[in-house]
Structure 1
Amino acid sequence: MSAVAVEYVFKSSAAGEGEVVVRAERAALFPETSSTAHRDETGHVAWQAMPVLCEFILSSRGRQLLTSARVLELGAGIGIPGLLAGRVCTELIITDSNDAVVERLKRNVELNFGEMNCSGDAIRVENVVWGADLFPSNLAHSVDIVLGSDVIYSASSAKSFLETAEAAMAQPGGIIVLAYIPRWPNVDRALYDSIAVMKLSAEVVPLCSFMSEKTSNGHALPKGTCLLLLRRMQDVDDPAEVCTDPPEITRRQYNDDVREVFDVCIGPGNITGDLCDRLSSGIGLDCEGKQQICLVIDATGPVALTTEKARLLSDVFRVPPLINCTELKLKECWLSDGWAILTPGLLDCANKLSRLIADGDEIGVRAAKEINKLLLHCSDLKFLGLLRNPLGNDGAIAITGGLSSCSMLHSLVLSHCRIGDAGTAAIARAFPPTLQELDLSNNELSAIGVADIANAMRDSVLSKLTILNLSGNDIGASGGAELGEVLGVCVPKLQQLDLRGCGMTSTGITWLSRAIPACEDMRVLHLGSNGAGDEAMNELAPAISRCKNLKHLSLAMNSITGEGTWVLVEDLVDCLSITHIDMKGNSLGDDGAAAIADILAEVKTLEVVDLSNNEIGEEGAIAFAEEFEKPMMEEPFSWPRGLTLLLENNPEIVGAARSRLEKAVEDKNPQVEVKLSSVTAMETGFGR
């Protein structure tokens, strides 16, 4: 693996230091394509959390912890944090589990040896495999500080990292310093649970106390990025308060003086006894009743809204300014049954709530019953979203009483909630007639559940519906037939229909197609991943041609070939509003590419055509090249908003055909962009 020499530059607050430079060798090319579960090569590059740990090491608090300490870095990769720590600590052990990475680490130590405070045998580079049982006995309980950055990337790695770090920590007094980037909620939860199981005290160091919103290299940090100090409970007299950066308060700008709307974002660490005072100082006193508070409680990362925090928050909702809360969103708070504690306080502002969202909050049946109590008082609620919660059928049934009382509700989003047909039937009976958006995507509905929704449509309960999302439910061909009988006739205002991944096959789409022309306002139609073939195009194509407002058509990840594409395009030219066509992941081949190329100039409204991963080769590329080589028409101008043609992951587009296509676009069609798969690997930068 080829390497490049780089310098990482950080700003130090220490007197007289200014910029701190760490020299290193890293992989010249990104290694992800060759990295596997059995051979992890991600350590050959730097990752996104690394600068966070480095900035902390250079801070006054970091230096205080590391000065004269024995330090171990686990999963060091190219070793930048460890090399910085080596400037103040007395003993340094830098480790990784990949032999090639370990060899690179040794070279990086040599590049920075002159800057080290420790020397000789006090600096070691070793191959260490994670796991308490695998940890070298000679290193057990031998270090004061364990460093890690971007080392937790799966549920299992959370446990193995902490077990390994705990095995290395001195007794008493050892500290784990972990820079963490949240990417997947299940990994956040695994880290949170592992910290609790191992009886570690967690302190979240506010990022603003040692760095700016961006790292020294200019990278913006994802929401929930954190620097954790972990200690054994028995080493801590008083468990550290999990604190975060100050509340984010932004005033929305309006042209009138009638209302004052504030967007407030807090984390669990902000929920303390003085939260009211801090919010009041940031928002001001409401003397005229104009204030509206839109509150987001974002616990993204390995933190949670505990029952103690829920009790504090419940009290805060009873008094200004949060008694004026009109929008509330909880994200990854894992409150679960803690809703029983939060709800009593929320009842005081329930009649003002217009939006209520709980995203990834572990809401089961008991929590759903508490939310139902709240909904009974939400007379002005317009948006209810309970996303990614284990409601199940019983939880869905539990909220129906409150749901039916929400007489102003416009949007209902219950995606990823494990709701089956029984829960769908109960919800369908509770739909308020004001509903305009219904999202039951990625649940466990079958055609039986769709039939209950269809019956609600027949009863004119959903006559105002404009957005329907049932994607990710295995409704089959029968589900498509159920919808085909009612859409358009009973839901005349429908604008967006998402049925991706519903297993409808060609038969179901054929039945559905018969209702599409009656949906005169249809703008977005998603029918991807349904196992549909060419035969579905016979009914769908003429139906689409009669949708005079259709802008976005997705047929991605089906089994459409060139034959079906020719059927589609013959009618598609009559769809005078279409801007986006997504057919990636089919089997169009060169014949299908030729069909699309044949109509490009005629469909002047097009902006994006995605034909990625379609077995298109040189003949298909030439078909597009020939189209783009034609003299540009003066009036009317083709694609006035520009056209993007995606042909990525079609590896047979090579050689002269590829060059001809690229030249045709470059020379004669400046408003066209063609995206092809790169023929060279991307140079290494910071990873995800």
Structure 2
Amino acid sequence: MSDQTINVEQAHSFRLCDCDITDKGCVDLTAALRSNPSHLTYLNMYNNSLRDSEVKLISDVLENPDCKLKILELCRCNITDEGCVALTLALQSIPSHLKHLNLSDNNLRDLGLKLISDVLKNPDCKLKILELCRCNITDEGCVALTSALESNPSHVTHLHLSNNYKLRDLGVKLISDVLKNPDCKLKILKLCRCNITDEGCVALTSALESNSSHLGDLDLSFNKLRDSGVKLISDVLKNPDCKLKILELCRCNITDEGCVALTSALQSNPSHLTHLNLSDNNLRDSGVKLISDVLKNPQCKLKILELCNCDITNKGCADLTSALRSNPSHLTHLHLSNNYKLRDSGVKLISDVLKNPDCKLKILKLCWCNITDEGCDALTSALRSNPSHLTHLNLSNNYNLRDSGVKLSDVLKNPDCKLKLLDLRDCGITANGCAVLKSALRSNPSNQAQLKI
């Protein structure tokens, strides 16, 4: 630990994720931080069994008026009420530096949340980012949190509460009341897997309609919103004051009806949304056609589109790629993984898009798409003719690709190739094929691509 201690004293950031740190290690670490507290601004101790006693040691460091920590990540560290008491007492005494606190995946429950809420009420509190995912929060804890945010609404800009299954509609109603406050500065709200239904969605969208000018990132994935909830969200998107740039609605039971409402809203107000995630919904080809019509709009600003596991076939892919050919300059991320019916014919259509010199695609994900030799030939040909944009290509879990994936070695050899990541895991590539790909990468030292096989 002594070498690490020297590094702690000199570094501005320090990561000790998954390090199996014991009591002794934490004592050494905090001793170093106490002896030289003014440099370290970022400490990440994700997934260490710190327990409450070690959290108390870190809390002692925070109480030092010379401590300059701005980001503290203690996700999955076995913290309970006792550790939370020590941590929040420290933040109450010296609350002015810490801006980002991540306590996700700890058994904080409602008492822990009440303690954190007391910190937020402090007018000197500077916390902007608060992550409390999977912390067993219920209505009671949410009451304390939202009460604190209402009494001091102008600081917190990022609130992550995903995977708190007991939050439900009542919790979302409380959060919605905060959003209505004209002084609220929330820009990012993550409520994935919180058991939200129509009732909670009504409250949330009503709040956004009354005060839509700040929130830019909303994640409601894995909630039972269905088409009725999506229609409500669509009404918000139509508002010209709406500033939503990122909307995540993965696995929300959306069908054609909801997709009609959503795409109609995006057609009427296409200039804000840059990231749309509709993965794991039963969109099928009809839904993809509606989305494709949005992409054709020259005012459309979508850069990231996620349509994984949406039962897309060649017909839907034809509509999508036609839209991208007519308006190729905006989309940079396209995620189509787990569309088993896409196959080689769909990949050929996508390859034609990649050949377009105006294409700006940087990340393309085609895992689990039943791609074989024929699709790989088309993709390789496209990347040879236009190698300068794509940085991430994920073809993993296309079991029938086999050593045809080796053809991509020609792309890796190209000095103009910009690939940073090529993922060919679980594609049936043999040891000989792996050797060819690695050799191609070594032959082009200017390309620092990461190869996963």
TM-score, length basis structure 1: 0.54
Residue 158 of structure 2 is matched in structure 1 by 383
Shift of 1:458: 1.4
Larger gyration radius, structure 1 or structure 2: 1
Question: Offset at 1:554?
Answer: 1.5
Q: CA deviation at 1:451?
A: 1.3
How far is 1:316 from its partner? 4.2
CA drift at 1:515: 1.0
- Aligned partner letter, 1:524: I
Structure 2 residue runs of 5 or longer lacking an equivalent are 8-14
Per-residue CA distance 1:574-597 (angstroms, 9 max, x = gap): 242122221121012222222212
Matched-pair contact (CA < 8 Å) for 2:201–2:229: yes
The correspondence for 1:531, drawn from 311, 315, 338, is 311
Distance 1:315 1:541, change over 3 A: same
Q: Which letter does structure 1 place at the counterpart of 2:351?
A: V
User: Are residues 1:562 and 2:339 paired?
Assistant: no
Report the Cα offset of residue 272 of structure 1. 5.2
- Helix, strand or coil: the match of 1:549? coil
Shift of 1:363: 1.1
Letter of the aligned partner of 1:416 in structure 2?
R
Partner of 2:143: 369
Q: Quote the offset at 1:366 in angstroms.
A: 1.0
The size of the alignment, in residue pairs, is 424
State the one-letter code of the partner of 1:494.
L
Q: Is the 8 A contact 1:643 1:671 kept in 2?
A: no
Structure 2 partner of 1:452? 232
Measure the CA separation in 2 of the matches of 1:602 and 1:386.
Answer: 45
Contact 2:78 2:106 in 1 (8 A): no
Going from structure 1 to structure 2, the CA distance change for 1:643 and 1:402 (only over 3 Å counts) comes to closer
Backbone CA RMSD of aligned residues: 4.0
Structure 1 counterpart of 2:333, from 540, 544, 552: 552
**Aligned twin of 2:361:** 578
Cα distance in 2 for partners of 1:606, 1:415 equals 30
* TM-score normalised over the length of structure 2: 0.78
> Which residues in structure 2 correspond to 1:227-626 (within 5 Å)?
227=22, 246=30, 262-263=41-42, 268-269=52-53, 275=59, 278-281=61-64, 283=66, 294=70, 296=72, 298=74, 300-306=76-82, 309-311=83-85, 313-319=87-93, 321-322=94-95, 325-338=98-111, 339-349=113-123, 352-376=126-150, 377-390=152-165, 391-405=167-181, 406-431=183-208, 432-462=212-242, 464-487=243-266, 489-518=268-297, 520-545=300-325, 546-559=327-340, 560-574=342-356, 575-604=358-387, 605-617=389-401, 620-621=404-405
* CA deviation string 1:68-110 (max 9, x = no partner): xxxxxxxxxxxxxxxxxxxxxxxxxxxxxxxxxxxxxxxxxxx
Q: Is the 8 A contact 2:101 2:129 kept in 1?
A: yes
- Flag the 1:354–1:611 CA change in 2: closer, same or farther, 3 A: closer
Which digits, 9 at most, give the CA deviation of each residue in 1:211-250, with x for residues without a partner?
Answer: 9899xxxxx9644735589xxxxxxxxxxxx999628689
Unaligned runs of 5+ in 1: 1-207, 215-219, 230-241, 254-260, 285-291, 678-688
Structure 2: distance between partners of 1:295 and 1:578: 33
Q: Secondary structure at the match of 1:422?
A: helix
Query: How far apart, CA to CA, are the structure 1 residues paired with 2:62 and 2:20?
Result: 23
CA distance 1:349–1:436, shift in 2 (3 Å): same
Distance 1:381 1:511 in 2: 36
Q: Is the 8 A contact 1:300 1:333 kept in 2?
A: yes
**1:408 & 1:460 partners in 2: Cα distance?**
19
- Distance (Å, rounded) in 2 between the aligned partners of 1:305 and 1:314: 10
* Superposed displacement of residue 409, structure 1: 2.1
- What's the CA shift for 1:346? 3.2
How far apart are 1:536 and its partner, in Å? 0.7
Residue type of the alignment partner of 1:555: L
Is 1:484–1:513's contact at 8 Å kept on the other side of the alignment? no
Which has more helix, going by share of residues?
A: 2
| Shift in CA distance, 466/251, structure 1 to aligned 2, threshold 3 Å | farther
With 344-353 and 374-383 compared, the bigger mean Cα shift is at 344-353
C-alpha change, 1:343 and 1:488, in structure 2 (3 Å) is same
CA contact (8 A) 1:477 1:509 kept: no
Q: Is the 8 A contact 1:404 1:430 kept in 2?
A: yes
Could you report, residue by residue, the CA deviation over 1:416-471 in whole angstroms, capped at 9, with x for unpaired residues? 32222322221122234211111222333222221111111112352x22222222
Relative to its length, the structure with more strand (as a share) is: 1
